[in-house]
Structures are given as C-alpha cells and as structure tokens.
C-alpha cells in the first residue's frame, strides 16, 4: 500500500513542476527525472531499471501538462497546425524508436546522457535566444527529419521537446509565440508515444516495484498530474508579474545541480 508520505511528496512535486511549466514554458522532465530518481533510491526501489522507470514515469506525467498547455495556446490561436501535422509523424517514429533503444541502455549511462543534455539546455537558457533567419526556410523534408531527432532525444531524456522545438522554429522565422504554441501541440504526441514505448519495452522486464506497469510507476503519475494540472495556470499568470529572465537563469542553475547530483548518486 502506498504511504501517505509518498502521496504528499508526489502532490508537492506536481505543484512545483506545474507552476514552473506555466511560468517558464518548459516541460517538467528536468525536475521530475532527478526527483523521481531520488525518491526511488530513498525507498530502495527501482533496482537496475531505476532510470528507465524515472524516464517513463516522467513522460506519462508530461501528458497532462502537454494537453493543458496545448489547449491554452489553441484558445489564443498560437498553434500552427500545418507544422504540427508534418512534424508529428517524424516525432512519433523517432520517439518510439528511442524508447526501444533506451530499454537496452544501462541506467548509469542514461543518467549521464540526461545530465549532459540538461547542462546543454541550461547553458542555452542562460545565453538566450538563438539567431533568427530573415527568411522562412522550413520545408516538409527538413521538418520531418528534424522531428525524428527531437522525438528521439525527448524520449531519451524525458522532455516535452520544447527546448529543442522552439529554438528550431524561431530560427526558421516562426513568430516566437506561435513557436511556443506549436511546440506545446507537438509535445503531446511526444509524451503519449514515449509513454507507450516505455510501457511496451518494459512490459517483460523483471521489476521490483509494485504498482509499476512497464517502465511507468502509476501512483506517481496520478498524484503528480493532479496538482500539476491546477498549478500550471497559476505559473502562467505569475509570468506576467515576475522577472522571468532572472528566474530562467536560476532554473538553469537548478537543472545543472539536480542532474549532476543524480548522476553522482548512481555512480
């Protein structure tokens, strides 16, 4: 039976992740994966598949956040559906293939990959926006193959893809608000496909954790999703009053600290 303390941890984690997602426009994977890893180590659960379960559980949690974000951006007309249609197919193929590959990678190596990617993401967040092209250069082939890579990396490090999709679209002269809205729409097929991939590829694994199906720990998904759904709108409102640029730099430093500490714990 799940302890009350664990439920409270998940509810608190969901509120933090949801608020940050709304405030900074980022997915929750950067916080969720290290936090879930700490929880599994603290409870003595996970075993050799600790990182796989943390990644799969995080992706399942992101489904709710992605859907909520997509709905909000669609109401503002900020989703370019022509781009979503082309990139979604590439996203699905890349994401599912990566979950298959991830199931054969040692947890330590996954943790190192996650830490390196979060460090790179944090440096970009601190540095600011990338150069923007003066003319649109998007074409269907370019979007499809780029989406393959975005989907694969998103599944391997458990992100909604925003840290990759938004800079890509902005660089190719898509308005930043529409880039964020379109990225939110693309984040839904990423999270759904990755969750299915981690479910199927972990189905036959011998896992020591109860309440786990495939590489997804469902109690965490349920309770984290509940509070993240309600706190994401609060974060979005707070973005109009708080110094977001300063907060992004603080968040970037937090990503680096959490990722490095998580890797050290697994060594």
Average pLDDT of the segment spanning 217-233: 91
pLDDT at 190: 92
In degrees, rounded to 5, the angle at the alpha carbon of residue 259 between the alpha carbons of residues 59 and 55 is 20
pLDDT at 66: 81
Mean pLDDT (the chain, rounded): 84
* Top-confidence residue, 97 or 72: 97
Stated pTM of the model: 0.85
| CA pair distance 266, 41, nearest whole angstrom | 9
Does residue 117 carry a pLDDT above 70? Answer: yes
pLDDT at 178: 84
Does residue 263 carry a pLDDT above 60? Answer: yes
Tokens 């036959």 correspond to: 204
pLDDT at 252: 77
| CA pair distance 244, 196, nearest whole angstrom | 34
Residue range 36-70, pLDDT digits in tens: 988 888 877 767 788 899 999 999 998 988 887 78
pLDDT at 13: 92
| CA pair distance 222, 66, nearest whole angstrom | 15
DSSP-assigned states of every residue in 196-255:
HHHHHHTTTS----TTEETTEEHHHHHHHHHHHHHHHHHHHHHTTTS-HHHHHHHHHHHH
Cα pseudo-dihedral 262, 264, 265, 267, rounded to 10: 130
Cα pseudo-dihedral 169, 95, 160, 66, rounded to 10: 100
Q: Which of 49, 6, 23 is nearest to 243 (CA)?
A: 23
Residue range 203-215, pLDDT digits in tens: 887 776 778 899 9
The DSSP output letter for 46 is -
Average pLDDT of the segment spanning 13-31: 79
Average pLDDT of the segment spanning 248-253: 76
- Collapsing DSSP to helix, strand or coil, 61 comes out as helix
């Amino acid at each position: 039976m799940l302890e009350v303390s664990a439920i409270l941890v998940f509810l608190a984690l969901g509120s933090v992740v949801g608020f940050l997602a709304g405030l900074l426009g980022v997915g929750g994977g950067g916080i969720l994966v290290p936090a879930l890893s700490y929880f599994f180590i603290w409870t003595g659960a996970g075993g050799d598949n600790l990182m796989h379960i943390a990644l799969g559980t995080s992706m399942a949690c992101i489904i709710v956040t992605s859907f909520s974000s997509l709905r909000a951006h669609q109401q503002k007309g900020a989703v370019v559906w022509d781009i979503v249609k082309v990139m979604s197919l590439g996203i699905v193929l890349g994401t599912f293939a990566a979950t298959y590959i991830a199931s054969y990678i040692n947890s330590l190596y996954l943790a190192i990959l996650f830490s390196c990617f979060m460090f790179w993401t944090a440096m970009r967040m601190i540095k600011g926006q990338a150069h923007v092209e003066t003319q649109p250069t998007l074409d269907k082939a370019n979007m499809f193959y780029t989406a393959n890579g975005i989907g694969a990396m998103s599944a391997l490090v458990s992100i909604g893809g925003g840290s990759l999709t938004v800079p890509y679209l902005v660089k190719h002269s898509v308005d930043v608000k529409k880039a964020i809205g379109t990225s939110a729409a693309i984040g839904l097929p990423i999270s759904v496909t990755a969750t299915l991939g981690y479910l199927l590829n972990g189905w036959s694994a011998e896992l020591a954790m109860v309440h786990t199906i495939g590489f997804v720990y469902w109690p965490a998904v349920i309770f984290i999703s509940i509070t993240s759904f309600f706190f994401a709108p609060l974060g979005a409102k707070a973005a109009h009053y708080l110094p977001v640029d300063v907060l992004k730099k603080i968040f970037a430093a937090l990503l680096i600290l959490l990722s490095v500490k998580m890797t050290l714990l697994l060594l």
